Structure 1
Amino acid sequence: MALPVETFFLQPDAQGTLQSQIQQMIAQGILSGRFQPGEKLPSTRKLATHLGVSRITVTIAYTELLANDYLTSKGRSGYFVSENAPTPPSFSPTPDAEDAVDWARALGQRFSGGVTPSKPQDWSKYRYPFVYGQADQSLFDHANWRLCALQALGQRDFESMTSDYYDQDDPNLIEFIARHTLPRRGITAKPEQILITMGAQNALWMTAQVLLTQRRRAALEDPCYHALRDILIQSRCHVNPVRVDADGLPPEAIPPDTDVIFTTPSHQCPTNATMPLARRRALLERARQMDALIVEDDYEFETSFLRAPSPALKSLDTDGRVIYVGSFSKSLFPGLRLGYLVGSEPFIREARALRASVLRHPPGHTQRTAAYFLSLGHYDALVRRMGNALHDRRARMEEGIRAHGLQVAGQGAHGGSSFWMRAPDHIDTHALAARLRQRGVLIEPGQSFFGGAERPRNFYRLGYSSIPATRIADGLAELARGIAQTSGIGHIRA
């Protein structure tokens, strides 16, 4: 029996090449049981005409499926579903059964009660995406990343891609971090003092697991990175939020019984405040007096395009009490999930053992690809290109913010990729964000960054790393219009 050509169609929003889409379409038909063994497929010419693609594209797709035993060829008769093709499961789905488990009692711990906000996965389809931390396709060096990934797939790097490192990491990546990345922050470290992580958040989680117990106390900035607050609450330690000021975390406000201090001195998250050198030294002295450790999340130091970044807190540490968290996920792309921890050997030893028991190590191919991208100079070129683009976008943001009378609550003195904003006191930015989203404008409400029961509801963050520069002015005009309408103000400044 021949399969009618009308049963074949390409999804309009499908990803990948036309060849791969055709392969996937036919393979899914076979795996779902719609296409049975022995059934004849349309000719390459007929299917190409029906789909509106070239005949060679269909021929290559058929050839790949033939090689994978999904199809078989019978001379001039054409292509057929192979008798050896994978078959769908023969069992019938079981009916939904009533869950008799009392999950309120069965769950030993709960991790879903945090305030981490969700971001729309289709953010790039919005006209004015003032979202933070997403990759801009127009800036990313996809061609060289692809070449580095292909190089890491080669026979020469077979072991780095396929080996089980157990608790170790790619030596090439560790060497680059030790010899190039850290010295730029004034940090000297041996390979034994560096651990690769699945991004900064994973690094913070491992740090909390190693350092904190139910009897220990952690101080964190308020407002702060919301996922860090979730991590500390889940660790069941005592948490002391410390309200930041224009210079970041004030050392004198840290409770004297604190065991671990979490801070983002380069670009405070989310206010973007940069901690001055004098305060950094005061923070180190405060920690020394309390015999406390400091976890430094060196957040966004690569985006210091207005002036050179301040020295890392770790570079000023003379007694090993600072644990440094770095990440390539923000400067390359968030889906990479690649970061690193730097600390004294006893700490790294325990963090390494914890990582091995949870995920062993980040994928070897990802590590080797990043190592090539870094060592061949592509990363530095990308950071420069991003810095130039962000400099231009920041200038347009400042111009639009002034033009529409929007209130800035915090902006990075050295650069960065976002503005911390304050709406009029009576405005709930969650509700504002929902209304703006219908107009194609995405903003990030700020309530989740604050701790405590009475969290301010009128703050929000505007990222400019993902919105085209040419759309910033119109996007800010829409934002100002939304705030004015919420406030009941009739007059809107053009």
Structure 2
Amino acid sequence: MAISVETFFLVPDAQGTLQAQIQQMIAQGILSGRLHRGEKLPSSRRLATHLGVSRITVTLAYTELLANDYLTSRGRSGYYVSDNAPVPPVYEPTAPAEDRVDWPRAIVKTFSGGDTLDKPRDWARYRYPFIYGQADPTLFDHANWRLCGMRALGAKDFSSLTADYFDQDDPLLVEFIARHTLPRRGIAARPSEILITMGAQNALWLTAQVLLNARRQAAVEDPCYYALRDLLTQTRCTMVPISVDSNGLPPEAIPDRTDVIFCTPSHQSPTTATMPMDRRKALLDRARELNALIVEDDYEFELSFLGSPSPSLKSLDREGRVIYVGSFSKSLFPGLRLGYLVGSAAFIREARALRAQVLRHPPGHMQRSAAYFLSLGHYDAQIRRMSKALHDRRRTLEESVARHGLTVAGRGAYGGSSLWMRAPAGVDTTALAERLRTQSVLIEPGAPFFAGPDRPRDFYRLGYSSIQRKSIDAGVAQIAAALSGYWT
């Protein structure tokens, strides 16, 4: 492997002759492990031109390193790092210079320290991973996804792989969403009203940035998707949490002067409550009274294995007040990071411009691969396969929960991939989760989903998309045992 000439540079205030500086620079690279045995150095002409020195200076430095067995010469091929060079087995970057920046003063806005849950990256090695939002590899159609990815790499699709769309998206993916995905939710939209995003969270961020500032007020569900509160905080808007009930967000509780309402009517996050039709109409009426907008996050609508999903709020909207957020992350796999925004053309235009400034567009190859996977019918086949598997796991989990005497606080009326649970009074599920983790059981504590300092500590979520059906009962038994011995 050839070493790039760009990795070499001279320190302006270094001591010694140019020849000595070049010699020291290469020797230190070898001694630190940055330059590996057998790697080819730049030619003396290229390195001299790059460093702005004479070629003879570089040649003399190479000759000295050759004599000391740091380098070896291979005829007319050039100079290489010698096999006898004292190279350590692992490259350890040199320690950076002392950091003297006053970072608390330099940083004007912080983004860390939010409520994002700690989900272990090695969750798959746990025996009982009741973790939400991760993909079960046994349910995914790897073979056809690979074929679609290879097709997207073909010469015919070269432009979709290499082109800079700037602020546009793959027309095949947009067309599929407009003609197939949205009509299933009763939504009609033109391409100018659809924007591809890096998942639902990116869609929510774009929406918040376009619609909110320090002078505006946003109503959010309580509990809600924990990352939503974090990204709304960035806008410095006034955030008003609205306690949800068994039917989701109560419209009458939305205060005056509210500008934007964030909700998950089809599958409330995290309680899984489904908003009935009369309340959906009441929510639209309340938004009209306030002259407010509604942001509808319609995650998991595809996983409605217990019955047909209720109509989306966007499908009932006749005034353009609803901005719709969809995602393929839950139905395909989280790492795909593809979602979409649907709204009036004026809103999408601004969201598109903001996206272009931040990340241009989601990678064209991923968009085209997804478009093929969707349009060739593989997506629908996968949804049917996933829905059957999740239905079986859901039934097993509910039976096990009932058998072990655990309390369900919320279960989706149409399906989904989790149950919202409540522990006995006095149990801190954050501490419970830590204890269970040592026993190879993963649950999600519920406190981060709630707003305010006095959050309920006794809720938790059990996801069943990532755990095999055969492991569910033993895992629930572990949870029940931990709860019964919580105070010991």
TM-score range, shorter chain: 0.7 to 0.9
Instruction: Give 2:60's aligned residue.
Output: none
Residue aligned with 2:348, SS:
helix
Instruction: Give the whole-Å Cα distance in 2 for the aligned partners of 1:123 and 1:351.
Output: 35
1:35 matched to 2:34? no
Instruction: Give 1:6's aligned residue.
Output: none
Contact 1:409 1:421 in 2 (8 A): yes
Q: Which amino acid aligns with 1:386?
A: M
Structure 2 counterparts to residues 378-397 of structure 1, below 5 A: 378-397=378-397
Deviation at 1:108, TM superposition (A): 1.0
Instruction: Give 1:485's aligned residue.
Output: 485
Instruction: Give 2:239's aligned residue.
Output: 239
Contact 1:35 1:81 in 2 (8 A): no
Deviation at 1:105, TM superposition (A): 1.1
Change (3 A) 1:308 1:93: closer
Instruction: Give the whole-Å Cα distance in 2 for the aligned partners of 1:407 and 1:431.
Output: 18
What CA deviation, in whole Å up to 9, does each residue of 1:112-171 have, x standing for no partner?
121111200000000000000000011000000000000000000000110000000000
Contact 1:445 1:461 in 2 (8 A): yes
Residue aligned with 1:302, SS:
coil
Change (3 A) 1:379 1:92: closer
Instruction: Give the whole-Å Cα distance in 2 for the aligned partners of 1:142 and 1:123.
Output: 20
Instruction: Give 1:158's aligned residue.
Output: 158
Contact 2:38 2:81 in 1 (8 A): no
Deviation at 1:256, TM superposition (A): 1.3
Contact 1:36 1:81 in 2 (8 A): no
Instruction: Give 2:190's aligned residue.
Output: 190
Instruction: Give the whole-Å Cα distance in 1 for the aligned partners of 2:93 and 2:457.
Output: 47
Q: Which amino acid aligns with 2:266?
A: S
What CA deviation, in whole Å up to 9, does each residue of 1:439-478 have, x standing for no partner?
1100001100000010111110000001000000000001
Instruction: Give the whole-Å Cα distance in 2 for the aligned partners of 1:82 and 1:465.
Output: 55
What CA deviation, in whole Å up to 9, does each residue of 1:194-222 have, x standing for no partner?
00000000000000000001000000000
1:310 matched to 2:310? yes
Deviation at 1:487, TM superposition (A): 4.0
RMSD: 2.2
Instruction: Give the whole-Å Cα distance in 2 for the aligned partners of 1:37 and 1:453.
Output: 58
Change (3 A) 1:172 1:82: farther
Instruction: Give the whole-Å Cα distance in 2 for the aligned partners of 1:268 and 1:92.
Output: 48
Instruction: Give the whole-Å Cα distance in 2 for the aligned partners of 1:254 and 1:431.
Output: 34
Contact 2:266 2:310 in 1 (8 A): yes
Q: Which amino acid aligns with 1:368?
A: R
Change (3 A) 1:98 1:338: same
Instruction: Give 1:170's aligned residue.
Output: 170
Change (3 A) 1:94 1:126: closer
Instruction: Give 2:135's aligned residue.
Output: 135
1:339 matched to 2:339? yes
Deviation at 1:33, TM superposition (A): 3.8
Deviation at 1:391, TM superposition (A): 0.5
Instruction: Give 2:264's aligned residue.
Output: 264
Residue aligned with 2:137, SS:
coil
Instruction: Give the whole-Å Cα distance in 2 for the aligned partners of 1:487 and 1:265.
Output: 38
Instruction: Give 2:353's aligned residue.
Output: 353
Instruction: Give the whole-Å Cα distance in 1 for the aligned partners of 2:331 and 2:191.
Output: 22
Instruction: Give 2:111's aligned residue.
Output: 111
Change (3 A) 1:478 1:92: closer
Contact 2:37 2:81 in 1 (8 A): no
Deviation at 1:352, TM superposition (A): 0.3
Instruction: Give 1:275's aligned residue.
Output: 275
Instruction: Give the whole-Å Cα distance in 1 for the aligned partners of 2:39 and 2:97.
Output: 34
Residue aligned with 1:326, SS:
strand
Instruction: Give 2:419's aligned residue.
Output: 419
Structure 2 counterparts to residues 20-59 of structure 1, below 5 A: 32-37=34-39
Instruction: Give the whole-Å Cα distance in 1 for the aligned partners of 2:191 and 2:232.
Output: 28
Deviation at 1:96, TM superposition (A): 3.9
What CA deviation, in whole Å up to 9, does each residue of 1:212-241 have, x standing for no partner?
010000000000000000011111000000
Contact 1:37 1:81 in 2 (8 A): no
Contact 1:197 1:362 in 2 (8 A): yes
Instruction: Give the whole-Å Cα distance in 1 for the aligned partners of 2:270 and 2:99.
Output: 42
Change (3 A) 1:155 1:283: same
Deviation at 1:32, TM superposition (A): 4.8
Instruction: Give the whole-Å Cα distance in 2 for the aligned partners of 1:34 and 1:345.
Output: 55
Instruction: Give the whole-Å Cα distance in 2 for the aligned partners of 1:167 and 1:81.
Output: 46
Instruction: Give 1:400's aligned residue.
Output: 400
Larger Rg: 2
Number of matched pairs? 417
Q: Which runs of 5+ in 2 are unaligned?
A: 1-32, 41-73
Deviation at 1:95, TM superposition (A): 4.2
Instruction: Give the whole-Å Cα distance in 2 for the aligned partners of 1:340 and 1:252.
Output: 29
Deviation at 1:36, TM superposition (A): 2.7
Instruction: Give the whole-Å Cα distance in 2 for the aligned partners of 1:234 and 1:133.
Output: 24
Instruction: Give the whole-Å Cα distance in 2 for the aligned partners of 1:118 and 1:188.
Output: 38
Deviation at 1:37, TM superposition (A): 4.9
Instruction: Give 2:50's aligned residue.
Output: none
Change (3 A) 1:475 1:93: closer
Instruction: Give the whole-Å Cα distance in 2 for the aligned partners of 1:374 and 1:315.
Output: 22
Instruction: Give 2:144's aligned residue.
Output: 144
Contact 2:198 2:362 in 1 (8 A): yes
Deviation at 1:99, TM superposition (A): 2.0
Instruction: Give 1:293's aligned residue.
Output: 293
What CA deviation, in whole Å up to 9, does each residue of 1:403-459 have, x standing for no partner?
010000100011110000000121111111111011110000110000001011111
Instruction: Give the whole-Å Cα distance in 1 for the aligned partners of 2:79 and 2:226.
Output: 53
Residue aligned with 1:303, SS:
coil
The TM-score with structure 1 as length reference comes to 0.82
Change (3 A) 1:96 1:416: same
Instruction: Give the whole-Å Cα distance in 2 for the aligned partners of 1:465 and 1:82.
Output: 55
Contact 2:35 2:81 in 1 (8 A): no
Deviation at 1:103, TM superposition (A): 1.2
Instruction: Give the whole-Å Cα distance in 2 for the aligned partners of 1:465 and 1:107.
Output: 39
Instruction: Give 2:431's aligned residue.
Output: 431
Contact 1:126 1:440 in 2 (8 A): yes
Instruction: Give the whole-Å Cα distance in 1 for the aligned partners of 2:402 and 2:101.
Output: 57
Contact 2:331 2:383 in 1 (8 A): yes
Structure 2 counterparts to residues 76-91 of structure 1, below 5 A: 83=80
